[in-house]
Amino acid sequence: MSAERQKNPEETGIEAVEPGKEISDKKLIEAAQNGDTRAFGRLIRRHQKKLFRFIAALTGSFDQADDIVQEAFVRAWQNLRKFRTEYDFYPWLSTIARNLAYNELRKQEKSQSLDQMKEAGFNPVDKDLGPLDRLMNGQAQKRFYEALWAMPVLYRTVFVLRHFENMDYAQIGSYLKIPPGTVDSRLYRARRYLLEKLQDLLE
């Protein structure tokens, strides 16, 4: 048989190179950039659960998070050839998903009043919000959400889980795999951030 014969795709995929071994994101991306859809499928399976939890925390909707995560993987595949493999894949992927989530949240804020959100089961008011309570209604509502969306995601995620999802510190810590003390410090920074951004409305 000629050595010049065309190889079967099954012989050239990432699975054939390193069967049964844990393959790095970098190798999977390089294979996917060369058209190996199975390699990209492995990237999806590896990161899908983590990404879903993150986006669900931001949107407060499992159905919406599922749609956003699927769209994020589609866009990642479409732009994968532009991705530089010296960087980590997940931060790039999560940025795509986060931007999609922000767009959806902005649409919700424009189309729904706070009362309508409450009727749908969305109630952000928490007893320890303090002076921020009154900023979540009326004319201040838009400013509140603009400040919330501008907050660094590290702090916004904890704030969303606490005040939008009504999780306690232990639940948040378990969800994000961080100690309750870290939850407390991030939540404090999130509240201080909002108070500083909205100080003129509190005077």
Q: Is pLDDT above 90 for 155?
A: no
Residue range 94-132, pLDDT digits in tens: 889 878 887 776 665 444 444 444 443 334 444 455 556
SS3 203: coil
Which class would CATH give 113-202?
mainly alpha
How far apart CA 22 and CA 140 sit, in angstroms, is: 51
Residue range 33-77, pLDDT digits in tens: 999 999 999 999 999 988 887 787 677 677 888 999 999 999 999
SS3 16: helix
Domain ranges of the chain: 14-107, 113-202
User: Residue 96's CB: how many other CB atoms inside 10 A?
Assistant: 19
Domain 14-107 of CATH type 1.10.1740.10: yes
Q: Using CB atoms within 10 A of its CB, is residue 171 exposed (0-12), middle (13-18) or buried (19+)?
A: middle
DSSP state of 165: S
